[in-house]
């Protein structure tokens, strides 16, 4: 079994429930979507340079870092051949905490049905600004748990209004964690907080991508 890895690195997680904590990142090549704002489009290009790694190579690398939080991302990691096997191995280790960044278009059901300890999914709900909203697999909302997160990456007021509608329609804050994150450089943070106040968005967390504040926002490998 082999995987197309475009980068692997240690950093702090800049996003999600474990933001600020050390994490080891494995980024896979290729994606089925083409979000208007994607900050890793390079990883989705057909001729991107990648390292072929076996399951054992990835496991050995992760173990060698001594870091317990693992983030698997991309690209769209769930489309990587044999990704189920890698997730199975990494979730079988009690002391590791696996987080998967996924784009909301791929079914995550089988991970709940077949694994004793499913990973934590951070699943985007792509809004109009992304131009990918019609690709969402809404069925995923039925399987998410308190370990998971739905993330809305917002670019404007219209996106924010939709966020509230989707949260209400699917009772998302009762099922799972809900995060709001700005498209980098696109929307004023204070306008987002004002919207949260005006609409009583309880149980929703505003998230700024820490790594884009700490490092150059275009820097890879951080
Ligand atoms: C690069 S994606 C890879 C994983 C998966 N394809 C997805 O979209 O969730 C990782 C996360 O970065 C977010 N992201 C990408 N570009 C962004 C940007 N310009 N500003 C804020 N978040 C961004 C995505 O929405 C997603 O939550
Ligand atoms: N530091 C850091 N944290 C992250 N959390 C999720 C990331 C991603 O690209 O999926 C990411 C990333 O690219 N860098
Ligand atoms: S789904 Fe993720 S990797 Fe794919 S284009 Fe959108 S943000 Fe980029
Ligand atoms: Mg990123």
Q: 46: domain CATH number?
A: 3.20.20.70
Is residue 120 in a domain?
Answer: yes
Q: Which ligand is nearest to the CA of 101?
A: 1
State the angle between helix axes of 83-91 and 55-65 in degrees (0 to 180), rounded to the nearest 10.
40
Is residue 220 in a domain?
Answer: no
pLDDT tier for residue 101 given thresholds of 50, 70 and 90? very high
Region 183-207: mean pLDDT is 98
Residue 12, marked binder: yes
Region 68-75: mean pLDDT is 98
Q: What is the pLDDT of residue 184?
A: 98
Cα 111 to middle of ligand 2, angstroms = 22
**Digit-coded pLDDT (tens) for 130-177:** 999 999 999 999 999 999 999 999 999 999 999 999 999 999 999 999
Is residue 123 in a domain?
Answer: yes
The domain tally of the chain equals 1
CB proximity list for 19: less than 8 A, separation 6 or greater: 12, 13, 207, 210
CB proximity list for 182: less than 8 A, separation 6 or greater: 153, 154, 155, 189, 192, 208
Q: What is the pLDDT of residue 170?
A: 98
Please give the Cα distance from 177 to 20 (Å, whole number): 17
Pull the structure tokens for residue 145: 């748990």
Does ligand 3 lie within 6 Å of residue 102's CB atom? Answer: no
Region 75-88: mean pLDDT is 98
User: Which of the listed residues 35, 42, 48 should we mutate to test ligand 3's pocket, taking the one with most ligand atoms within 8 A of CB?
Assistant: 35
Q: What is the pLDDT of residue 220?
A: 97
- Tell how strand 120-125 and strand 97-102 pair up: parallel
Segments forming the whole domain that contains residue 12:
2-214
Q: What are phi and psi of 7, to 5 degrees?
A: -160, 155
**Digit-coded pLDDT (tens) for 22-43:** 999 999 999 999 999 999 999 9
Mean pLDDT, the chain, rounded, equals 98
User: Which of the listed residues 71, 75, 181, 213 should we mutate to test ligand 2's pocket, taking the one with most ligand atoms within 8 A of CB?
Assistant: 71
Cα 155 to middle of ligand 2, angstroms = 19
Q: Are 222 and 10 in contact (CB under 8 A)?
A: no
């Amino acid at each position: 079994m082999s995987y197309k890895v475009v980068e692997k690195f240690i950093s702090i997680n800049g996003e999600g429930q474990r933001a600020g904590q050390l994490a080891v990142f494995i980024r896979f090549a290729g994606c089925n979507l083409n979000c208007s704002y994607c900050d890793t489009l390079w990883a989705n290009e057909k001729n991107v340079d990648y390292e072929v790694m076996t399951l054992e190579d990835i496991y050995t690398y992760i173990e060698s870092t001594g870091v317990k939080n693992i983030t698997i991302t991309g690209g769209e990691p769930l489309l990587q051949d044999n990704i189920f096997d890698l997730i199975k191995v990494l979730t079988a280790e009690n002391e590791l905490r696996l987080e998967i960044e996924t784009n909301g278009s791929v079914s995550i059901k089988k991970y709940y049905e077949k694994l004793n300890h499913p990973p934590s999914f951070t699943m985007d709900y792509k809004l109009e600004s992304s131009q990918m909203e019609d690709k969402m697999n809404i069925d995923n909302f039925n399987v998410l748990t308190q370990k998971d997160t739905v993330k809305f990456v917002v670019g404007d007021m219209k996106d924010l209004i939709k966020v509230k509608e989707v949260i209400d329609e699917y009772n998302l804050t009762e099922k799972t964690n809900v995060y709001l994150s700005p498209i980098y450089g696109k929307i004023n943070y204070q306008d987002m907080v004002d919207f949260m106040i005006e609409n009583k968005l309880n149980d929703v967390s505003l998230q700024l991508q820490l790594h884009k504040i700490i490092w150059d926002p275009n820097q890879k490998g951080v």
